[in-house]
Copies of this chain bind each other. A is one copy, B any other.
Amino acid sequence: MKYEPVGVFDSGVGGLTVAREIMRQLPKERIVYFGDTARVPYGSKSQETIIRYSRQIIRFLKTRNVKAIVVACNTASAFALDTIQPELDIPIIGVVKPGAKIAAETTRSGKVGVIGTEGTIRSRIYTETIAKHDPNIQVMAKACPLLVPLVEEGWLKDKITVEVATRYLQPFLESDVDTLIMGCTHYPLLRSMLRRILGNQVNLVNPAYETARGLKRLLQDNDLVNDGKCTADGKHYEFYVSDAAEKFMEFANNILPYDIDNTQLIHIEEY
């Protein structure tokens, strides 16, 4: 079982920032990545729909014999993880809890900010998860629905993106928030811009990084660490999408440390 791959899924390309962290921190692990590009984005959809989509994806990943699952999508972590976890016989981890935990541990002002999609923010998942760590921490949350389309348009360093991000971040600048969670997997691609807008007083939390650390512990606890001799070269990574494989590969090759040359299309609705 320990030589089987880790399944990683997201609504589209955003979860590649999580896959990238796993590749960096756990270079011996094989990965099967699924991006639901036919039904992206998840951020504006309802909980019921996200649970249905997540179940389909997990059924698909299990056909690839995954030993553990990473929900590399904040909306799916918020909406579906608690429902799906008891249905599974393999370990699963989302991006929300690791990000919330480090933010709760890091803040000194006791005020944490969260930015994300409409779905993630509406779910109040970060607010509730942080409250479980420390009910005295105040959480200020803001949906930033335009940041994903701006990243996907490729306007990563554009002045319009700066203007939009500055407007979204304004309430945090006028507050005592000292820790801001990038609660959407696309946002780390805007990290240096967000950093410039927020200044050095605010600590930026990247849940992708914390999730890869959490996965490492989860594999250790379940005796699932791949201790084989294989070295990372991009060949033990498999990519699947529900639509537009070419476009996915192009985006992936801008993000990942290895060039990928094969992405398979599957009909996720059949799972």
Contact = CB atoms under 8 A, between A and B. Distances in A.
Nearest to A270: B269
A201 interface: no
A170 to B, nearest CB: 13
Main secondary structure of the interface of A (DSSP, over half): loop
Contact of A244 (B46, B152, B269): B46
Interface string A94-127: 0000000000000000000000000000000000
Contacts of A38: 39, 45, 49
Interface in A207-247: 242-244, 247
A3 B247 CA distance: 45
Nearest to A39: B39
A149 B160 contact: no
Contacts of A88: none
Nearest to A143: B153
A45 B248 CA distance: 11
Contacts of A90: none
A150 interface: yes
Contacts of A44: 37, 40, 152, 244, 247
A164 interface: yes
Tier of interface size on chain A: 20 to 34
Given A146-B146, A149-B145, A150-B146, A243 B164 contact: no
Contacts of A269: 269
Contacts of A167: 160
A163 interface: yes
A150 B149 CA distance: 9
Interface in A123-163: 145-146, 149-150, 152-153, 160, 163
Contacts of A153: 145-146
Contacts of A242: 49
Contacts of A164: 160
Contacts of A150: 146
A122 B91 CA distance: 42
23 contacts: A37-B44, A37-B45, A38-B39, A38-B45, A38-B49, A39-B39, A40-B44, A44-B247, A45-B243, A45-B244, A46-B243, A46-B244, A48-B243, A49-B243, A145-B149, A145-B152, A146-B146, A146-B149, A146-B150, A160-B160, A160-B163, A160-B167, A269-B269
Interface of A: 37-40, 44-46, 48-49, 145-146, 149-150, 152-153, 160, 163-164, 167, 242-244, 247, 269
